[in-house]
Each structure stands twice: as C-alpha cells, then as structure tokens.
Amino acid sequence: MEYVTLSNGVQAPVLGIGTFLISPEDTVNSVYSAIKMGYRLIDTANAYMNEKSVGEAVNRAVSEGLVTREELFISTKLWASVYENEDAVENTLKRLNMDYVDLLFIHQPAGNFMAGYRQLEKAYKEGKAKSLGISNFYGEKLDRLLNDVEIKPHVMQLEAHPYCTEKEVRDRVAEYGTVLMGWYPLGHGDPGLVKEEIFTRLSDKYRKSNAQIVLRWATQMQFITIPGSKNPDHIRDNGDIFDFSLTDEEMAEIAKLDGTKKYYNATDEEVEKYAGMHLPFEG
C-alpha cells in the first residue's frame, strides 16, 4: 500500500474500499474481505445507511487479530440534515462503535453547512476526528467555507476519474495542502471510460486489466481512491495495482482525456432538496 501525507501530518492510504450503494449485509462481507486482502481505508457515510456494518466488519477483523484499529483509516460523512444536531458526531461514532474516525466530512454544500463544519472542528479538537474533509463543494460555497473556518479541510471528496480531475478546484485549495479523494474512480461503471484505447494499450503492456490501469493512474495522481465493490474478485483486483507504475509520458497521455464529462451534475436546487431529506435513524 502507498500513502499520502495530509497537511496535518496524518498518513492516509491512497487506495481504499468505498461502500456507496452497498447494502448493510453486503457491506459487512465487503469490508471484512477487503481488510483481509490488505485494504486499510474504508469510506462510509451517514447517508449510506451502513455505518453499523462497517463497524461490525472492522471490529470483527480487529478481534480476530487481522489488524489493529490504529492500522485502519476510517472515513465517514455527516449528512446535511444533522449539521445542526449537536449529537451528530457522537451518534455517528456510536453507529460505527468507535471512539474516533480518521477522517470526518460534511457530505453536501447544503443547509447550514457552516454549522456542520463547526461540528467537525470541535470533533477534531476533541480527538474524535483525526482529520477533516468536505465533499462536493465548489464555487461560492467553497469560498465561503474556506474564508470562514479555523481549520482548513485536509481532504476534499469529489467526483474524479480520467474524464474529470477537477483541476480548478484542486488549484483553489492547493495553498492549504488539501488532498483530493475521488469517487466514481471508474466512471460509475461507464464502459466507455474503462475501454478507452489508452487503457487497453497499457493493459497489454503491463498485463493488468483496464480498470487496474485507471486505478493506478488515480493513485499516481495522489488522489485517495475508493472504488466500491461487493465482489471479492473485484476487491482483490482493485487492490493489486502497486507492482507497476505508469511513466510520465503515459500519465501525460491520459491527461488529454480530462474535461470529457462528469457523471453527476445536480443543480444547487437539487442538492438542497436531496440533502434536506431526513435519514431513517433521525426518527
């Protein structure tokens, strides 16, 4: 495994397993399998409704001696509807059955997101979050947050893949040392991206799958990368990308794909409406 150093000195694995759209039952099996295969980063969220399952898998792995909690990097996200709930962080930790998380995000630039980030800062000072992040922030809302927080975000989570590297946003946060964590790293299952000629050619050269080439590109971009899967074979293959490196020339050729497309293009109104929905555990 390779690691990236966050601006506060915390070491984060560059590859982990994502749990978006994975059912609670499948999450237990996926996360446990991933840990056995050497994964050390697990990403979840309030809104994924599987934090309890992540905690169950982690505690099982720890109790069996496969790994220590300190060797793992757990990230989760507060949902917008709990930004003003003073118990949101504590409730999140209870669902995970953990004393702290390694990375805590606010999930959407909606509602009273400044109140949500204040909760993150408080959790950081109390040792309940080892690093802080923001997810899906752009433009004016990003500027407003950066100009009004005490602790700048260590990580920003955005859609990121060869078609979309979010260079403008990365440049905006570069002065703070903020690292990008990319979701949809394989283009949300778009065969057009994975089957691009450059990836097929490099697949033949390195004797890796096209998907493995894409994921290796992402880690060499220093993007923390979180492909999700409930298939043990896919989980194993996704992690088997550190025995080769793409050349500078190959990285430059892949860079020509940037700007092709994004898969998630919600308007501010749609984000506010969706993020305002309450989660079942809120009652």
The set of catalytic residues is 48
The SS3 assignment for 103 reads: strand
Task: Name the one residue in this structure whose structure tokens are 């399952």.
Answer: 53
Q: Is 34 exposed, middle or buried (0-12, 13-18, 19+ CB in 10 A)?
A: buried
Q: Give the count of alpha carbons within 13 A of 4, CB side only.
A: 21
Task: Name the one residue in this structure whose structure tokens are 């409406």.
Answer: 273
Which distant-in-sequence residues (6+ apart) come within 8 Å of 195 by Cβ? Answer: 210
* CB atoms inside a 10 Å sphere around CB 73: 22
* CB atoms inside a 10 Å sphere around CB 1: 13
The SS3 assignment for 102 reads: coil
Task: Name the one residue in this structure whose structure tokens are 């069996």.
Answer: 64
The SS3 assignment for 239 reads: helix
